[in-house]
Each structure stands twice: as C-alpha cells, then as structure tokens.
Structure 1
C-alpha cells in the first residue's frame, strides 16, 4: 500500500524490534526502510535523552518504503483486560500521530497499523473501537486536512475486529 505516511507501532527505544524475524510491524518497517531509519530514530532518542513515552509520536523519513514518512508511536502495554487508562493512552497514540502528520503539509494520506495489539497485548476487539473513535473524532474536527486515512491490517483477526466495531456502530 502506498501512503504519504505510515504509522509504526514502536517500542520505547524507537530502534525497531530486537527479535530477529519477529512478524511485527516494527520489524517489517525497519527492515523494509533500511538502516537509515534506525539511525534517524537513534538521533531522536539521543536528542531527547529518554525513551519515547506512551501516547506520543515522532516522525522520520521513510527511505525505501512506499511512504515518504514514518510516524512512530508507543502504545500501551496491556496485561489482561485493558483499563480506562489503557484506552486513553491508546487514543492518545492515534491522536498524536494525526497531530504530527497534520503539521507536515505534504502528508495527505496516512496508513495506521493496529497499535498495541501485537506483543503489547491490547486485545484487538477492545482496541479497534478505541482507534476508530479517536481517528473519527479527530477527522470530524478537521474534515479537510487529509485526503485519506486508512487502517492497514496484518491478520484476519485485525480486520474482523475493525469490521465488528463498525457493525456495532463505532464511527470512523
């Protein structure tokens, strides 16, 4: 898929996944973009002097990706059932990406992954409505900012979670 910017569900180091061949979006994006993406992320983390907090976003170039930019966000780590503060942190991750992308004039299309639903443990069925609501509310307040915002899914279970949330009335 081609988009001006893609979202990476990053870890707090922003340096990519440290598990070789792990099938996560962080690994896939870093591998496809090439080593300069990791260099950019290292520069960011070094300059800020701390790991990336949950619910914020940073931007880098996309290098070898079919996207000019990568928005890196760290979603909440959930063990068991998510709490209200997990949903707030997850929504913050989505909003932070939109806020940051909106500052870059040539980002007109944006592709989101399912933030926190992999190894970070957020149940897909609970994460999808949070994501749809956060993005839908942001777009409703700024309807002309982006030409297209999509949710790119990795597994059938991700797609089913979004479809179920939409069937239940969660507006995008």
Structure 2
C-alpha cells in the first residue's frame, strides 16, 4: 500500500469501531484524509487494536517521520558553543533547539500532559500533548490508560510518569502535569513547575537515561508566563546537572517568542 492507501485503510478501520462515524465521508485529497485520520486517532478511547491495524499505522507514521527528518540530540550544538559568554554552569550539556519535538532522537522527550494523562482528545488540537500522541500512535494512549488504571486517580501536578516512545524517534516519553495559571502566578504554582522539571530529571536518571528533551511546560494551554517559566526551567536544569550524570538536556521551543526568551537568558 502507498501512503494514501494506508491512510484510507486506517480511516475505514477506525470508522468501523463506532457506528456514529458511518456518516463521515472520505475526503477527496490526501491532506484531508490525513487530517481525518488524525482526528479519529485523537478521539479514540483506549482499547485493543488489531495487529493488522497497528502494522499499517506504524508503517505510515514511520514513513512520515522519515519525511520530517530525525534530529539526533547528541549532534546538536550546546549553548556553550552558541553563547560563549553564558553564565550557565553546565552550558556544555544543554542545548536550545527550535522545532518539532516529535523529530528528536533522544532517550526521552517530555510531554506536557493533563491530569487524565491519556493525551488530548480534541481533534487535531495544537497542543504538544496532541502532537506527541499523534506521532507516537495508538499504543501510547493505551499504555497511559493502563498506568492510570493501576494508579486509580488523576496524575498530581508536578509529578512524572514514563512510557515507551513507540513511533517517535525518542525511546521514551516522560509525561508531567504542569500548573494551570489563572489571573496571576502563585508561589505554589512556581514550586509546582520546578517540581515538574525535577520529577522528570529524577525519573530519567532512575531509568538510566542520558538525553532528555524538555518542552516549555505549562506555557501553552496552561497559561504560565513564558519568561518566568524559562527562568525556572534554566535554574532547575542547571542546578540538577551539577550533581547528575545526565549527558544532554535539550530545551525544545516551538514558538519564536520562547526562542528569543531563552536566547536572551543565555546571552
């Protein structure tokens, strides 16, 4: 099957799981078909998936990953090379990289999850939770659901859980729930964000991981102020590295706003 045939096959299989989807018509172009497939994957509740469906899904996602291109975090320039005057103590082990986190080949990437920790159910939503689950495949939600069922309660803010990476180039995904900010940031929320970074780092080190890529936790849908969040991230990461064997930490930014904030901090 070519890419379009795989997409159509997966759409047909996921539509067949729910009688309410019978009215959904097949889009005429490949981008439309791919968007519908992503939507169906996003809204699908955890549950068994046949090996045949997973085989085709994995082939499609791996093909798309190859098209996007894999970025090895160990080959990226560290901030010591890009910002020689930086006051960051561990500048030879930290990278600032702007781009799609689902392209990064690392031991783990960090996902800014919600307290249900099963991914974003909003079709094609722009959050990183949605992007990571969409690129990893249906297996990721199923593993998250198993973790949450065993836990028996929502994931607390500031903690972290680890899963496989499945169709991502990263071997693992570390999921953490950041604080949700209202009118203004409280001291408790600052401590919770610090805890997110510390929990991810401790879990990574416990698992023997050597490279981790962080997203900008809580700055998107959770409305934590970008500059303050960056300051907290740099402070916690730099301090932790001083007594850690983790070799490479990537601060992954997507928006220009965050890129300029971190550049200014490092300069």
Q: CA deviation at 1:69?
A: 0.3
Matches within 5 A, 1:27-38: 27-38=130-141
Report the structure number with the largest CA radius of gyration. 2
Query: What RMSD over aligned residues (CA atoms) do the two structures have, in Å?
Result: 1.0
In the alignment, which of 136, 155, 175 is matched to residue 72 of structure 1? 175
| Per-residue deviation, residues 76-112 of structure 1 (Å, max 9, x unmatched) | 000122121111000000000000000112x211100
Q: Secondary structure at the match of 1:67?
A: coil
Q: What's the TM-score once normalised by structure 1's chain length?
A: 0.92
Match of 2:105 in 1: 2
Q: What's the TM-score once normalised by structure 2's chain length?
A: 0.60
Distance of 2:125 and 2:257 partners within structure 1 = 18
Quick check: which one's helix share is greater? 2
Using CA pairs below 8 Å that are at least 6 residues apart, which structure has the higher relative contact order?
Answer: 1
Q: CA deviation at 1:118?
A: 0.5
Hey, which bits of structure 1, 4+ residues long, moved more than 3 A? none
Distance of 1:82 and 1:135 partners within structure 2 = 21
> Does structure 1 residue 115 correspond to structure 2 residue 227?
no
Distance of 1:54 and 1:149 partners within structure 2 = 22
Q: Secondary structure at the match of 1:50?
A: coil
- Which structure 1 segments of 5+ residues have no match? 168-172
In the alignment, which of 170, 191, 194 is matched to residue 91 of structure 1? 194
Distance of 1:57 and 1:155 partners within structure 2 = 24
Match of 2:153 in 1: 50
| Per-residue deviation, residues 36-78 of structure 1 (Å, max 9, x unmatched) | 1001100111101000000000000000000010000000000
| Per-residue deviation, residues 11-40 of structure 1 (Å, max 9, x unmatched) | 001111122111111000000000110011
Match of 1:26 in 2: 129
- Which structure 2 segments of 5+ residues have no match? 1-103
